[in-house]
Every structure is written in structure tokens, then in C-alpha cells.
């Protein structure tokens, strides 16, 4: 019987950062600091190895920072709220235009127009090709592409030591997975699960933020440097990833009734305090984050038999949790 119980608990890792963070606060395990973050040591035994839950439990208040309401967007759907954090440091013009669209209520009443399995969900105006097309009032019709930006010294890049085939260097900046190229001194957000970007046509500057997509499958990293990434979903991802797939080409919905409505998109800063979701995310420029990466690179706990000794950029968890108070 015990075997059956443990089958239910199989496939070790918790990939839902919120769940993981909440679990972390309820686990009884104690953290041996000396066992943390020894990145070069391949796991020989399990003794003393910290799990992600251990690392989060041992984190201090200063390891977390509250989401900035000026850069946090609420996408309200019938089934709940999707929370998106924008990254103006990586796409200043596109983020500014998205905020302008949000402020003018552009997205309110529009819909999720596409869900392609193992790829992306996309939202925008279902009527963008007919005479019911929604007009853009105050935002710009055209915004230059921001596929890469120059290194921003003010924002520390926490480099991941692990091999990556898609970029010369990968790591994290301000809670986002990113690549960078020391030759061109450019950096960009990577297409990991939950990354949000600006849909475009064949012309590089044909997107303006009025149609956005989110990665819902295995990281399509070939898109990196080909399209403007503006942020990531930090909560409610399952509302977008579990949508029925569209049956048209590229996963577009073929009938109006197949689309999910967008009730509204609002900036958190324009929502009353009582209606806000108060969240904080783990800072990515701390020893705690390094310890978390190591805990995932060589898993602790009783379940794993072989340590991977490696972690892919898009497998690094970026925990978010409710703020306490």
C-alpha cells in the first residue's frame, strides 16, 4: 500500500513556483547552510543536500521584492486573473505602448484568439481583419522592434554556469531569464515557459503590443532575438496554458464561441489597493537564488537516484509568493 501512496507522490519536483513557495512555508525540514550552493560537487549521497523547499524556507525577507505595480498587469478572464510582470528595461518602447493600450482600455472585451499546442497562446482583436476592428486611440500604431538591448549596467546579470546552445551566456536579470552576447554587448529576454511577447508579422517592426503571446510549451528559444519579449506571467499561467487548442492553422480559433473573453487588462497601479494581488518574487541577484539553482541542478530529497549535474535556463524556477502582512 505504501508503494501506491508514494506513486502518487512520484516525479519529484514542484514546478509551480507559487505552490513550491507555499509548500516551503509548511515543510518542517531544516536547512544546513553548509550544504547549500556547492555548485561543483556532484551528489554522491543525499545527506545534507538542500531541496528547493529547504532553500525557500531558509530565505530571508530581503531575498524577496514586491512586484512593482507600475510594471504589473492584470489580465482578467472569466476563470480568474493572470498576472504579468513587464520588463521595461528590456523593451522600453514596447512596454510603454502596452501600458498606453491598457490605459485606453484597448484590450477590454477582446479575446484569446489562439492556442497552439506546445507553443503559444495569443490574445488581441479577433476582428483585426474586418470592419469591426477596434481602433487604437492614444497608443502608437507602430513601435520599433526591441529584440535585443545594450547591456544595462544598473541591472545585475546573474550568470548561469551551465552550457546553453542558444546564447553565448545565459542567466537572470531582475527575475527574468535572459541571454547575452559579450561581443555585441547586447542582452535579451529568453523564450522560456510563461514569457510574454509582442506578436508581429514578417516585418521586424510590425508589432505594436496590441496582440501579445505567451509561451505555453517547451521553450521555443529559436524565437530569441527574433521578436520583442516584454515580460512574463507570474501567476495564473494555468488559465492560459489549459485553454482548448484552436483547430485552425497555427492554433487560431475558427469560431467566435471557441475564444475566451478578456474582461479587462489593467495595470496594478490603477487598481484599488483592495483589489490588488500582493505578491513578491525571489530576487535573482542573491546567494539564496544561487542555492535554489544548485538545489535544482542536483536534486536533494529521496526521490532522485541520479543527479543531473546541469540545469537548463528555462528549468530554473522563479518563485513568486503572496507578501506577508
- Please tell me the chain's helix, strand, coil percentages from 3-state DSSP, rounded to the nearest 5: 25, 25, 50
315 is a site residue for a second copy (CB under 8 A): yes
Among residues 23, 39, 96, 267, which is the contact residue for a second copy, using CB under 8 A? Answer: 23
How far, in Å, CA of 151 to CA of 149, rounded?
6
C-alpha cell at 280: 513578491
6 is a site residue for a second copy (CB under 8 A): yes
179 is a site residue for a second copy (CB under 8 A): no
Q: Which is nearer to a second copy, 266 or 290 (CB)?
A: 290
Q: Which stretch binds a second copy (CB under 8 A): 69-77, 186-194, 268-276, 287-295?
A: 186-194
DSSP 238-259: HHHHTSPPP-SGGGB-SSGGGS
Burial letters 13-29, b for 16+ CB under 10 A, else e: bbeebbebbeebeeeee
Among residues 33, 152, 250, 261, which is the contact residue for a second copy, using CB under 8 A? Answer: 250
147 is a site residue for a second copy (CB under 8 A): yes
185 is a site residue for a second copy (CB under 8 A): no
How far, in Å, CA of 122 to CA of 148, rounded?
22
Q: Which stretch binds a second copy (CB under 8 A): 85-93, 219-227, 254-262, 280-288?
A: 219-227
Smallest distance, a second copy to C-beta of residue 88, A: 22
* Cβ-proximal residues to 88 (8 Å cutoff; 6+ apart), any chain: 71, 95, 96
Segment 159 to 178, residues that bind a second copy, using CB under 8 A:
162-166
Report the DSSP pairing between strands 279-282 and 169-173.
unpaired
227 is a site residue for a second copy (CB under 8 A): yes
Smallest distance, a second copy to C-beta of residue 97, A: 14
Among residues 24, 50, 77, 223, which is the contact residue for a second copy, using CB under 8 A? Answer: 223
Site size for a second copy, by CB under 8 A?
84
135 is a site residue for a second copy (CB under 8 A): no
SS3 63: helix
CB 286 within 8 Å of CB 267: no
How far, in Å, CA of 280 to CA of 266, rounded?
19
Segment 283 to 302, residues that bind a second copy, using CB under 8 A:
296, 299, 302
Segment 189 to 208, residues that bind a second copy, using CB under 8 A:
192-194, 199-204, 206-207
How far, in Å, CA of 165 to CA of 181, rounded?
13
Segment 67 to 126, residues that bind a second copy, using CB under 8 A:
113, 115-120, 122, 124
25 is a site residue for a second copy (CB under 8 A): no
How far, in Å, CA of 319 to CA of 284, rounded?
10
314 is a site residue for a second copy (CB under 8 A): yes
57 is a site residue for a second copy (CB under 8 A): no
Q: Which is nearer to a second copy, 107 or 213 (CB)?
A: 213
How far, in Å, CA of 298 to CA of 36, rounded?
11
Q: Which is nearer to a second copy, 62 or 141 (CB)?
A: 141
How far, in Å, CA of 157 to CA of 288, rounded?
15
5 is a site residue for a second copy (CB under 8 A): yes
How far, in Å, CA of 203 to CA of 131, rounded?
23
183 is a site residue for a second copy (CB under 8 A): no
SS3 12: coil
Q: Which stretch binds a second copy (CB under 8 A): 51-59, 87-95, 243-251, 282-290?
A: 243-251
Amino acid at each position: 500500500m505504501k508503494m501506491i501512496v508514494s506513486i502518487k507522490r512520484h516525479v519529484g519536483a514542484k514546478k509551480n513556483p507559487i505552490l513550491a513557495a507555499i509548500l516551503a512555508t509548511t515543510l518542517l525540514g531544516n536547512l544546513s547552510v553548509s550544504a547549500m550552493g556547492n555548485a561543483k560537487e556532484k551528489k554522491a549521497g543525499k545527506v545534507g543536500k538542500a531541496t528547493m523547499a529547504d532553500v525557500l524556507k531558509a530565505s530571508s525577507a530581503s531575498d524577496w521584492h514586491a512586484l512593482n505595480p507600475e510594471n504589473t498587469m492584470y489580465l482578467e478572464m472569466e476563470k480568474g486573473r493572470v498576472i504579468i510582470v513587464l520588463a521595461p528595461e528590456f523593451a522600453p518602447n514596447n512596454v510603454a505602448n502596452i501600458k498606453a493600450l491598457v490605459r485606453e482600455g484597448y484590450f477590454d472585451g477582446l479575446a484569446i484568439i489562439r492556442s497552439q499546442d506546445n507553443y503559444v497562446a495569443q490574445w488581441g482583436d479577433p476582428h483585426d481583419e474586418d470592419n469591426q476592428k477596434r481602433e487604437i486611440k492614444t497608443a502608437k500604431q507602430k513601435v520599433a522592434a526591441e529584440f535585443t538591448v545594450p547591456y544595462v549596467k544598473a541591472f545585475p546579470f546573474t550568470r548561469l554556469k551551465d552550457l546553453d546552445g542558444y546564447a553565448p551566456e545565459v542567466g537572470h536579470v531582475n527575475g527574468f531569464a535572459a541571454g547575452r552576447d559579450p561581443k555585441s554587448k547586447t542582452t535579451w529576454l529568453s523564450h522560456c515557459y510563461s514569457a510574454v511577447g509582442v506578436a508581429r508579422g514578417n516585418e521586424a517592426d510590425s508589432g505594436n503590443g496590441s496582440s501579445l503571446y505567451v509561451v505555453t510549451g517547451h521553450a521555443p528559444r529559436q524565437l530569441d532575438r527574433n521578436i520583442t519579449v516584454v515580460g512574463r506571467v507570474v501567476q495564473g499561467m494555468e488559465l492560459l496554458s489549459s485553454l482548448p487548442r484552436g483547430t485552425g492553422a497555427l492554433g487560431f480559433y475558427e469560431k467566435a464561441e471557441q475564444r475566451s473573453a478578456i474582461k479587462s487588462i489593467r495595470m496594478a497601479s490603477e487598481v484599488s489597493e483592495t483589489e490588488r494581488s500582493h505578491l513578491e518574487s525571489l530576487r535573482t541577484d542573491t546567494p539564496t537564488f544561487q542555492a535554489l539553482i544548485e538545489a535544482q541542478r542536483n536534486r536533494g530529497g529521496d526521490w532522485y537516484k541520479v543527479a543531473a549535474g546541469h540545469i537548463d535556463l528555462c528549468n530554473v524556477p522563479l518563485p513568486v509568493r503572496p507578501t506577508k502582512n
